[in-house]
Amino acid sequence: MCNGMTPSLSIFVFLLLAAGSAALILLVSHGVGRRPLTPGKDVPYECGMPPADRPSTQFPIRFYKMALLFVVFDVEIVFLYLWAVVVRDLGVFGLVEMFVFIAVLMAALVYVWRKGDLQWE
**18-58 pLDDT per residue, tens:** 999 999 999 998 888 777 777 777 666 666 666 666 666 67
What domain range is 110 assigned to?
7-115
Q: Domain containing 52 — which CATH number? A: 1.20.58
98 near 83, Cβ under 8 Å?
A: yes
pTM above 0.85, yes or no: no
Whether 2 maps to a domain, the answer reads no
Q: pLDDT digit string (tens) for 79-108?
A: 888 888 888 888 898 889 889 988 998 898
Residue 89 placed within a domain: yes
Does 49 fall in a domain? yes
Answer yes or no: is 1 within a domain: no
Euclidean distance between CA atoms 78 and 76, whole angstroms: 5
- Structural domains in the chain (count): 1
| Burial category of 8 from C-beta neighbours within 10 Å (exposed 0-12, middle 13-18, buried 19 and up) | exposed
| pLDDT (0 to 100) of residue 20 | 96
| CB-based contact 117:106 (threshold 8 Å) | no
